[in-house]
């Protein structure tokens, strides 16, 4: 995908439950309309590597804060890695009954949600489209 059409993380909330104070959205997006998403370093996510990270993240890193700062404000309650078009179509088909061949796939990526126990933090996240930061670490390796 060209730099002009890069996916820009919007902070849009796609899942919200005010009673349970749950907020969710895309953690990472790998493809939009079949085109790889390039990050700010003009690199695409290696989905095979991300699959391994997803499992570790799901088991070990369940806290979230805002903007990589401060104490934990939320806890991971669900997340799913939608990493192939076939899997995306199967999910939609199972939920809606729409024939698999009739289902367009717009995005592939990592989707999830957090519960935010403090009502002020929850309302602030919704109102200001705050971006969550998640626990974890990584190393960057340059591959020739």
65-85: per-residue pLDDT in tens?
Answer: 776 677 888 889 999 999 999
Q: What is the pLDDT of residue 137?
A: 58
For residue 78, tell me if it sits in a domain: yes
Residue 2 scores a pLDDT above 70 = no
Look at residue 5 and tell me if it is in a domain: no
Cβ-based neighbours of 6, under 8 Å, separated by 6 or more: 37, 38
Say how far residue 115 (Cα) sits from the centre of its chain: 15
Q: Is residue 38 part of a domain?
A: yes
Helix (H, G, I), strand (E, B) or coil at 138: coil
> 46-56 as b/e, with b when 16 or more CB fall inside 10 Å?
ebeebeebbee
pLDDT higher than 90, residue 86? yes
Share of the chain above pLDDT 70, in %: 81
Residue 124 lies in a domain: yes
- How far apart, in Å, are the Cα atoms of 119 and each of 17, 19, 38? 12, 10, 35
Helices (H), the chain: 47-60, 85-96, 119-128
Round the average pLDDT of the chain to a whole number and report it: 83
Q: Supply the range of the domain harboring residue 120.
A: 15-134
Which position has the higher pLDDT, 10 or 39?
39
Give the chain's domain count: 1
DSSP 85: H
On whether residue 68 sits in a domain, the answer given is yes
Q: What's the rounded mean pLDDT across residues 126-130?
A: 72
| Helix H or strand E encompassing 64 | strand 63-66
Whether 8 is covered by a domain: the verdict is no
Least confident of 20-29, 56-65, 79-88, 124-133: 124-133
pTM of the complete model: 0.80
Distance CA 128, CA 59 (A): 29
Tell me, yes or no, whether 64 lies in a domain: yes
Q: pLDDT band for position 1 (50/70/90)?
A: very low
- The yes-or-no verdict on residue 25 having pLDDT over 50 is yes
CA 14 and chain centroid, separation: 10
Two structure tokens written together for 69 = 């700062």
What's the gap between Cα 48 and its chain centre?
16
Task: Render pLDDT for 94-113 as a digit per residue (tens, 0 to 9).
Answer: 999 999 999 999 999 999 99
Asked if the structure places residue 140 within a domain, the reply is no
pLDDT of the residue at 68 = 66
């Amino acid at each position: 995908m060209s730099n002009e059409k890069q996916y820009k993380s919007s902070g849009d909330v796609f899942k919200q439950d005010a009673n349970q104070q749950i907020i969710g959205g895309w953690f990472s997006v790998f493809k939009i309309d079949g085109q790889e998403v390039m990050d700010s370093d003009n690199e695409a996510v290696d989905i095979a590597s991300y699959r391994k990270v997803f499992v570790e993240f799901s088991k070990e890193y369940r806290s979230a804060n805002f903007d990589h700062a401060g104490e934990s404000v939320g806890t991971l309650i669900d997340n799913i890695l939608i990493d192939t078009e076939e899997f995306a179509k199967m999910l939609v088909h199972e939920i809606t009954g729409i024939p698999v061949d009739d289902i367009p796939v717009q995005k592939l990526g990592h989707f999830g949600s957090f519960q935010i126990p403090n009502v002020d933090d929850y309302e602030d996240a919704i109102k200001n489209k705050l971006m969550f930061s998640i626990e974890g670490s990584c190393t960057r390796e340059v591959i020739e």
